[in-house]
Chain A
Amino acid sequence: MSKHDVDGEAYLRMLKIRHFEQAVSALITEGAVAGACHSSIGQEAAIVGACMALRRDDYMSGTHRSHGHPIGKGAELNGLMAEILGKATGVCKGRGGSMHLTDTSVGSIGESAIVGGGISLATGAALSAQVRGTDQVALTFFGDGAVNEGAFHESLNMASIWKLPVIFFCENNGYAAVTPAATTHGQPDVSRRADGYGLPGVTVDGQDFDAVYSQTQKAVTRARDGGGPTLIEAKTYRFDEHCVGLFINGSYRSKEEVERYKTERDPIALFRARLLERGRSEADLINTQAEARRLVEAAVAFAKQSPCSDPESAFDLVHASQIPIRR
């Protein structure tokens, strides 16, 4: 893909995430969504920058903040939106929901609502690629909270000793739910934790698509060439609360901080300005914006029109072959 094409596709995917999350928020307001939804708005450049450096057949795992990851990796929107509404046509047939938007057609192997849960899975997918002798790599998204889980440390160490083709990608948005990273991290740079396990660690501006994309490309090339794992820390920011509509009694971050990110550090606005500098026409960008909006609107319509999950189907897909389940 030429740089021009990468830019265009990246802009489209970032906008798809933004509009998708806005549509989900509207559906929550309508009362159409059960359970908790975690918005990726503000983190689009980190997600898309990482995903654009991957091939479709590269593996990816993620987190409870799961909407952006498959979209970033190129998934169709209809099945994702239908899943959030619990419909039979959902990508996980209504069994996963908002926190678990897994689409294996784009290499996703699971979005985990157990913090850190996806890290060892992706490390295992990298082991699998190494054993099978393919040149696939695996990338795992996790937050700043997950780096205090044992799974993070155990996975980094094993990836290092076995030179596994895995990219550990931390979306450091500064807060684990409502707890500031500064109060739970013994030293502020997540990337420096790589030193303890003998792999490279790098911190990148997560609001800057180009920076994320080029650092991830380096890590992917290194992994594909047998050089082993890399830890990337993308410093980013979530614009919404931990989950959409969450009522917080008290404050863990200032209104000014949130406003400053929204007005000065919006990854899509920053990337749009750069695309104009690079010679893209305003009309071209408006077309892309309209395309993203159209795709999201179509996904909402598809999801709303889809049949609800059949209650009896709750008993299917527990095992590879159906075994009797007592009621």
Chain B
Amino acid sequence: MNEATTARMTYLDALGLAQREEMARDDTVIIIGEDISLYAAGGAYGDIDAKRIRSAPISENGFAGMAIGAAITGLRPIVDLTIANFIYLASDPIINQAARLRYMTGGQVKVPVTYRASMWHNQGNAAQHSDRPYPMFMNIPGLKIVTPATPTDAKGLLKAAIRDDDPVLVFEDNDLWAVREPVPLDPDFVVPIGKAAVRREGRDVSIISVAGCLPHALAAATALAKDGISAEVVDLRTLLPLDTEAILNTVGKTGRVVIADYAHRTCGAAAEIAAIIVEDGFDLLKKPVRRVVTPDVPIPFSEAMEKPLYPSQDSIANAARSLM
């Protein structure tokens, strides 16, 4: 892309830009969350009427529900839940109301609300600040879930979420905040929800990457290339709905699959992806599906214990080699 239409920025700045653009574009977009008044005073939201920026008390259950009532009655709220673990306090209204009110009312209402949650890890924050809660929400019909892994997707998927007429959970990866790349400046640039991206073409093995695993998956593919193994890297980008076609396409191409995901193993995103491959693509497989995921232990504080638990370039590459 040429320089006039893009600007080099971080993942975190891309999220902020998406929010500012959508608030400027549409008067019905509001933001609600904790500690945001300071950012508003600092101009982080641009020249926006203060009544659209609600710095809330620490009442995640309450304001997550209020956002739903506001969405039903004509607004497009963005709820900034900050650290992803806090979504558990908000999960009752997200699950029991937002996800199913369209359905339960026979389509009388729409619920265009966006919930942002930032997933932290590798920073010694221990088990109450280090979760990746998206798998349990994949079990909730009526939601949409996006997991941007690049600055461009951070902007494009958050904007798509805000414009979407359904409740969308945006799980952002704190590890990627400082990653930079040229990001489109077109205020109408959006990344469609439900479409995976092939980040690297390959013939021998597919690495299906979930959320923030992408940099490790790409690094693993580079390392594998030195061994003469051609790895394809697919970034799912959306977890609900899953891009089943993209998953089966890459399996058809390589017949070998490694799924890389920071979430815990049991009933994780990787488990559902593996099940789809086994149900619909079993005949395409040359080897069993491999998962590279976080083991089922609470995330420990100590760096020495925390780091080895997560998928890495090496563990992903080694899993791929084991299939050759």
Residues of A within 8 A of B (CB): 59, 61, 90-96, 100, 102-104, 109-110, 112, 114, 117, 119-132, 138, 150-151, 153-155, 157-158, 161-162, 316-321, 323-326
Contacts and interface: CB of A to CB of B under 8 A. Distances in A.
Nearest to B144: A319
B93 interface: yes
B61 A128 contact: no
A123 B51 contact: no
A318 B59 contact: no
Contact of B65 (A59, A120, A138, A321): A120
Given A117-B92, A150-B62, A157-B59, A127 B70 contact: yes
B97 A117 contact: yes
B69 interface: yes
Nearest to B111: A320
Contacts of A157: 57, 59, 62
The 3 tightest CB contacts between A and B, nearest first, are A124-B69, A154-B62, A120-B65
Contacts of B39: none
Contact of B96 (A59, A94, A114): A114
Contacts of A91: 106, 108
Interface of B: 28, 30, 51-52, 54, 56-57, 59, 61-75, 77, 92-93, 96-97, 101-110, 141-142, 144, 164-166, 194, 241, 244, 276
A161 B58 CA distance: 13
B103 A95 contact: yes
Contacts of A151: 61-62, 65, 92-93
B212 to A, nearest CB: 25
A317 B107 contact: yes
B72 A109 contact: yes
30 contacts: A91-B106, A95-B103, A95-B104, A96-B104, A102-B105, A110-B97, A120-B61, A120-B64, A121-B65, A121-B97, A123-B66, A123-B69, A124-B73, A125-B69, A125-B70, A127-B69, A129-B73, A132-B28, A132-B75, A150-B61, A154-B57, A157-B59, A157-B62, A317-B102, A317-B106, A317-B107, A318-B141, A318-B142, A319-B144, A320-B164
B56 to A, nearest CB: 7
Q: Name the residue among A91, A126, A131, A318 with the largest chain B CB count within 10 angstroms.
A: A131
Contacts of B142: 318-319
A95 B241 CA distance: 22
A51 B139 CA distance: 38
Contact of B73 (A90, A102, A125): A125
Given A102-B109, A151-B62, A154-B63, 15 more contacts: A61-B69, A92-B106, A93-B107, A95-B106, A109-B73, A110-B104, A112-B96, A114-B97, A117-B92, A119-B65, A120-B69, A121-B68, A150-B62, A151-B92, A154-B57
Nearest to A140: B69
Contacts of A120: 61-66, 68-69, 93
Contact of B103 (A153, A155, A318): A318
Contacts of A132: 28, 74-75
Contact of A323 (B73, B77, B194, B276): B194
Nearest to A324: B241
Contacts of B102: 317-320
